[in-house]
Amino acid sequence: MQAFRIFALRFTADFICRTTKKRMNVFIILGTRPEAIKLAPVIHALKEHPHFTVTVCATGQHIQMMKQALGIFGIEPDIDLAIMKPGQDLFDITTNVLLALKPIFTESKPDIVLVQGDTTTTFAGALAAYYKQIPVGHVEAGLRTFRKYAPFPEEVNRILTGHIADIHFAPTQRSQQNLLQENVSQSTIHVTGNTAIDALHWILNKLNNLDSSTLRLAVQLPEQIFQLVNTTDKKVILVTGHRRENFGDGFEHICSALHQLSLRSDVEIIYPVHLNPNVREPVMRVLSQRENIHLLEPLDYASFAYLMNKSSFIITDSGGVQEEAPSLGKPVLCMRDVTERPEAIEAGTVLLVGTSQEKIVYEATKLLDDEAHYNSMAFAHNPYGDGKAAQRIRDLLIEFSSSSQQSLQELLQKFSASQAAPRNT
């Protein structure tokens, strides 16, 4: 009985502490470049509001590219788990994030943990919060392909995160419907738009307000590429590729398609090559000798956004680019067989081409040669929002904080009343 009373006193003190705080303690976990880009507007929106105390935690899943992206937005992580090591796999990332977050959550006791998207950092961060019974908010919730291994491991990561999360920030109505079909409570799902559009608007507004000399310093492209995109009368095709499911034969076919397209005299192909050796080896072997294929090191977000804006169209397997390019009026050929972003397919801004050499070449040729077809994709509606998703998420977190504190106060009152009630002896 004495042990129970001690537990009850600690339980009561903890609830009093939590419910009387003036600020909501938000713990934001990120580990990759896409997470950094899409969470940056949310971080800024929360830090600018007096209701929040924000802690940004980097796991180190992709440390170099992630920190580079945060730097563009003027954000420095408060905590770096530094889990990255050579040859790390999904087992390493998951277990190392869990083990690293355990003592941090025990000490800091955040009011809510925010995760974004579908990386292994996302899933492991949400799971660690769940183990500590901390509410989880999921940014970009509800994306689905309904194919377990496409993309891998992202599809299962986001499904599991979705069943852990307490509040879901869905980018579109379709994403909301996906969650409802999985019996997620409608009251916890909120359609906000996609924060990728917020980030894109932020960076392009920043670049557009720079004078020419300052712009040149901000856009960290090789001089040859900077001059090329600003002076060429050829069509510029921007390429990205990094998906795990395309490793091996997929990238061989992609490289063959790009090689075939480079035989045209009216194109320039720019390809910032991912650091993963499964990507770099076939790309360098097949494409490095072509004069009109320009292989670059990975770019910071500002430089990549600048290139997107200067390109004619984009060939990619990136989920984020499928969201961003339509805002710029750039058609996208997506090198995947299925996408968790069907809204862009339905709107006509994105076309799935898989990794088939023939299909990539055929559809790229249509965009190059058929102006009407190009315009039908370039001027299609962007389904991913108006650039105000982060503000909506901030306002919803204020509402969530208020309702959570009210619920805790009611629980505390019931607990106190039960302690004061007369007992039968």
Q: pLDDT for 46-58, tens place per residue?
A: 999 999 999 999 9
Count the neighbouring beta carbons within 10 Å of the beta carbon of residue 383: 21
| DSSP 8-class letter at 97 | H
Q: Which residues contact 169 (CB under 8 A, 6 or more apart)?
A: 137, 138, 139, 140, 141, 190, 192, 389, 392, 393, 396
Q: State residue 408's pLDDT score.
A: 47
Is 423 a residue whose pLDDT tops 60? no
Q: Is 5 exposed, middle or buried (0-12, 13-18, 19+ CB in 10 A)?
A: exposed
Rg (CA), the chain: 24
Count the neighbouring beta carbons within 10 Å of the beta carbon of residue 68: 18
Is 401 a residue whose pLDDT tops 90? no
Is 174 a residue whose pLDDT tops 60? yes
Q: Report the share of the chain in percent with pLDDT over 90.
A: 76
pLDDT confidence tier of residue 425, bands split at 50, 70 and 90? very low
What is the crossing angle of helices 357-369 and 249-261, to 10°? 30
Instruction: Specify which residues 239 forms β-bridges with.
Output: 315
Q: State residue 3's pLDDT score.
A: 45
pLDDT confidence tier of residue 402, bands split at 50, 70 and 90? confident
Mapping DSSP to helix (H, G, I), strand (E, B) and coil, where does residue 61 land?
A: coil
Is 17 a residue whose pLDDT tops 50? no
Stretch among 7-21, 41-55, 187-201, 280-294 having the lowest mean pLDDT? 7-21
Tokens (6 digits) for 31? 């580990």
Is 11 a residue whose pLDDT tops 90? no
Cα dihedral 321, 327, 333, 339 in deg (nearest 10):
60
pLDDT confidence tier of residue 276, bands split at 50, 70 and 90? confident
- Compute CA 99 distance to the chain's CA centroid, rounded to the nearest angstrom: 23
Is 105 a residue whose pLDDT tops 60? yes
The residue written with tokens 């389904």 in the block is 383
Q: State residue 413's pLDDT score.
A: 57
From CA 71, how far away is CA 17, in angstroms rounded? 34
pLDDT confidence tier of residue 4, bands split at 50, 70 and 90? very low
Q: Which residue type sits at 397?
A: L
| DSSP 8-class letter at 315 | E
From CA 115, how far away is CA 137, in angstroms rounded? 6
Query: How many residues comprise the chain?
Result: 425
Closest of 366, 371, 373, 365 to residue 349, by C-alpha: 373
Mean of the per-residue pLDDT values for the chain?
90
β-strands 332-334, 313-316 pairing:
parallel
> Range(s) for CATH 3.40.50.2000 in the chain?
2-193+388-419, 222-378
Q: State residue 7's pLDDT score.
A: 47
The residue written with tokens 């990549």 in the block is 304
Find the mean pLDDT for residues 82-104. Answer: 94
Mapping DSSP to helix (H, G, I), strand (E, B) and coil, where does residue 95 land?
A: helix
More confident residue, 79 or 421: 79
From CA 68, how far away is CA 73, in angstroms rounded? 9
Catalytic residue numbers, as ranges: 118, 140, 154, 242, 244, 274
Instruction: Specify which residues 109 forms β-bridges with.
Output: none
Q: State residue 390's pLDDT score.
A: 98
Tokens (6 digits) for 110? 């955040």
Report whether the peptide linkage leading into residue 151 is cis, meaning its omega lies within 30 degrees of zero. yes
Closest of 339, 369, 340, 344 to residue 354, by C-alpha: 339
Q: How far are the Cα atoms of 104, 259, 334, 360 from residue 279, in angstroms, in the given order?
A: 35, 15, 17, 18
Is 308 a residue whose pLDDT tops 90? yes
**Residue-wise pLDDT tens digits, 316-357:** 998 889 999 988 999 999 999 988 889 989 999 999 999 999
222-378: CATH, from 3.30.565.10, 3.40.50.2000, 3.10.620.30, 3.40.50.1860: 3.40.50.2000
Tokens (6 digits) for 22? 């003036």
The domain made up of 2-193+388-419 is a member of CATH 3.40.50.2000: yes
